[in-house]
Chain A
Amino acid sequence: MSDTSQVTSTSESDKTYWKANLRIIGWSLVIWALVSFGFGILLRPLLAGISVGGTDLGFWFAQQGSILVFLVLIFNYAFVMNRLDRQHGVEE
Chain B
Amino acid sequence: MDQFTINLLFVGASFALYIGIAIWARAGSTSEFYAAGQGVHPVTNGMATAADWMSAASFISMAGLIAFTGYDNSSFLMGWTGGYVLLALLLAPYLRKFGKFTVSEFIGDRFYSPTARMVAVICLIVASTTYVIGQMTGVGVAFGRFLEVSNTTGLLIGACVVFAYAVFGGMKGVTYTQVAQYCVLITAYTIPAVFISLQLTGNPIPGLGLFGDHAASGEPLLAKLDQVVRDLGFAEYTAHHTDTLNMVLFTLSLMIGTAGLPHVIMRFFTVPKVSDARWSAGWTLVFIALLYITAPAVGAMARLNITEMMWPNGEAVSVETIENDADYNWMKTWEKTGLLAWEDKNGDGLIQYYNDKNPEMAATAEANGWTGNELTKFNRDILVLANPEIANLPGWVIGLVAAGGLAAALSTAAGLLLAISSAVSHDLIKGQLNPNISEKGELLSARIAMAVAIAVATYLGLNPPGFAAQTVALAFGLAAASIFPALMMGIFSTRVNNKGAVAGMLAGLLVTLLYIFLHKGWFFIPGTNSFTDAEPLLGTIKSTSFGAIGAAINFAVAFFVSSRTEELPEDVRELVESVRVPRGAGAAQSGH
Task: Point out residues on A near B: beta carbons under 8 Å.
Answer: 1, 3-5, 7-8, 10, 14, 17-18, 21, 25, 28-29, 32, 36-37, 40-42, 44, 52-56, 59-60, 62-64, 66-68, 70-71, 73-75, 77-78, 81-82, 85, 88-92
Contact = CB atoms under 8 A, between A and B. Distances in A.
A75 B82 contact: no
Contact of B581 (A8, A60, A75): A8
Contact of A91 (B85, B210, B281, B583): B583
Nearest to B255: A36
A37 B221 CA distance: 25
Contacts of B81: 66-67, 70
B584 A67 contact: no
A37 B84 CA distance: 15
A32 B226 CA distance: 29
B36 to A, nearest CB: 19
B251 A54 contact: no
A70 B223 contact: no
Interface in B195-226: 207, 210-213, 219-224, 226
A59 B238 contact: yes
A31 B42 CA distance: 25
Interface size of B as a range? 35 or more
Nearest to B219: A54
A65 to B, nearest CB: 10
A81 B278 contact: yes
Contact of A64 (B88, B296, B583): B296
A74 B85 contact: yes
B113 to A, nearest CB: 17
B574 A8 contact: yes
Contacts of B82: 32, 36, 66, 70
B282 interface: yes
A8 B577 contact: yes
B373 to A, nearest CB: 26
B292 interface: yes
B341 interface: no
Interface stretch (B71-79, B168-176, B345-353, B473-481): B71-79
Contacts of A7: 578, 583-584
A56 B223 CA distance: 11
Contacts of B289: 67-68, 71
A10 B584 contact: no
A28 B222 contact: no
A60 B211 contact: yes
A41 B220 CA distance: 22
A41 B275 CA distance: 33
B466 to A, nearest CB: 22
Contacts of B565: none
Contact of A85 (B71, B212, B222, B275): B275
Interface string B148-167: 00000000000000000000
Nearest to A59: B238
B3 interface: no
Contacts of A37: 248, 251-252
B338 to A, nearest CB: 31
A77 B176 CA distance: 27
B114 interface: no
A42 B248 CA distance: 8
B571 interface: yes
A10 B244 CA distance: 45
B584 A4 contact: yes
26 contacts: A5-B571, A5-B574, A7-B583, A8-B584, A32-B82, A36-B82, A41-B247, A42-B244, A54-B211, A54-B219, A54-B221, A54-B238, A55-B222, A55-B226, A59-B71, A59-B238, A63-B77, A64-B207, A67-B81, A74-B278, A77-B278, A78-B282, A89-B583, A91-B582, A91-B583, A92-B582
Contacts of B248: 37, 41-42
Contact of B78 (A8, A10, A40): A40
